[in-house]
Structure 1
Amino acid sequence: MLGANELKKGVTFEDDGQIWQVIDFQHVKPGKGPAFIRTKIKNVKSGGSKEVTINPNEKFRQVMVESREMQYLYNDGQFFVFMDPETYEQLPMDPSMFEEASKFVKENEIASIEYIDGEPFSVAAPNFVELEVTDTEPGFKGDTAQGATKPATVETGYTLNVPLFVEIGDVLKIDTRTGEYMSRV
């Protein structure tokens, strides 16, 4: 059993016959009254999410998630197609399962497919990816206020803030957990 105070981002659990994954959580200790946990959870099967308040004494059954590395091949207009590099079996994935990771995974790259009871339910990008800048404004000499940034679009279409010295054609290392620029490669 999993205690409510053990909930954290990415944990999958069962409640009332539904399987949920924690998207965000916050432990709250108000000035008066007992502590509680405010969470945003996503239904693994339907994709719907909701915010709930949980008593720290509640217990849940933790659901074990299996993860397999697969190669993203292409988007056929309706599904995103992945291939198991060992068996060469192709797996079409619904766009809702690939929504978050699609910002960072380009064709022929490896991603993790997460399974519950043999059924795929989501795609996770690697923690760090290297993507090329396809569009950004030029930085100007002397325009170097501390920590100044500008928006840049990378080859997957994702837009993030980068330092002023980044130019079109630069390859960036991006942390997919936060979506932030790490360094130039």
Structure 2
Amino acid sequence: MKINGNEIRPGNVINHKNALWRAVKCQAVKPGKGGAFNQVELKDIRVGTKLNERFRASETVDRVSLEQKEYQYLYSDGELLTFMDNETYEQIEANHSFLLEEQAPYLTDGITVEIESYEGEVLGVKLPEKMTFTIAEADAVVKGQTQSSSYKPAILDNGVKVLVPPHIEAGTRIVVNTMDGTYVERAKD
């Protein structure tokens, strides 16, 4: 689907210079002299390289639609990850390389993820935005710290370090934002 250069938004996938790129950041620029343009930071979906490009409204780019489908994560076998389609129970295998480094610790057996593919090739995985984990270790509260702004380090049961409020102790279940690894709230279960 062809779109104008000024219509590119973060998250859009475009075909540019014979590669698939995801728009990471977009900024509309209106210089004092010359025409307006859209300054776009692109990230290659397959390789991971970044590119900054200027697109004018008069330019057209090819926007690509990725197929998105829910799968259940089953297990990891060395370099391959195995997922199962929730409807047909078919299994697919994908290389570890399409998984972002910060996503890997949150990939636990049995979770439902959304896999993005293009013409049958797996290009990315989208984890649930919030997940529940148990605190394995938590530092003791330092006396004299105020409750409103102080956080202490803790380690989740998957080995990820997170900052939590002082009242959270080892064994407590908490909700974590998987996008940036931050504490959200105490789990309600």
TM-score (norm 1): 0.84
The residue type equivalent to 1:179 in the other structure is G
**Who is 1:146 aligned against?**
148
Q: Which runs of 5+ in 1 are unaligned?
A: none
1:21 aligns with 22
Consecutive aligned runs of 4 or more in structure 1 exceeding 4 Å deviation: 30-36
Residue pairs, 1:142-181, within 5 angstroms? 142-181=144-183
Q: Is the 1:79–1:95 contact (alpha carbons within 8 Å) kept by the matching residues of 2?
A: yes
The residue number in structure 2 matching 1:102 is 104
Please give the residue correspondences for 1:39-78 in structure 2 after superposition, counting only pairs within 5 Å. 39-44=40-45, 46-57=46-57, 58-78=59-79
Letter paired with 1:171: R
Cα RMSD, aligned residues only:
2.3
Identity level (%): 27
- Tell me if the contact between 1:40 and 1:49 (Cα under 8 Å) persists in the aligned partners: no
> Hey, what's the Cα distance between the residues in 1 that align with 2:76 and 2:128?
19
Q: Report the CA distance between 1:106 and its aligned residue.
A: 1.2
Contact in 1 for aligned 2:135/2:156 (Cα 8 Å)? yes
Q: CA deviation at 1:12?
A: 0.8
> In the alignment, is the contact (CA less than 8 A) between 1:132 and 1:172 conserved in 2?
yes
Bigger Rg, structure 1 or 2: 2
Name the TM-score, length of structure 2 as normaliser: 0.83
Counterpart of 1:5 in structure 2 is 6
Q: From the superposition, tell whether residues 158 and 41 of structure 1 become closer, same or farther in structure 2 (CA, over 3 Å).
A: farther
Question: Does the 8 Å CA contact 2:29/2:39 hold for their aligned counterparts?
Answer: no
2:72/2:111 contact within 8 Å kept: yes
How many residues in Structure 1 have an aligned counterpart in Structure 2? 183
Counterpart in the other structure of 1:79: 80
Could you tell me how far 1:39 is from its partner in structure 2? 3.3
Query: Using a 3 Å threshold, how does the CA distance of structure 1 residues 152 and 26 change in structure 2: closer, same or farther?
Result: farther
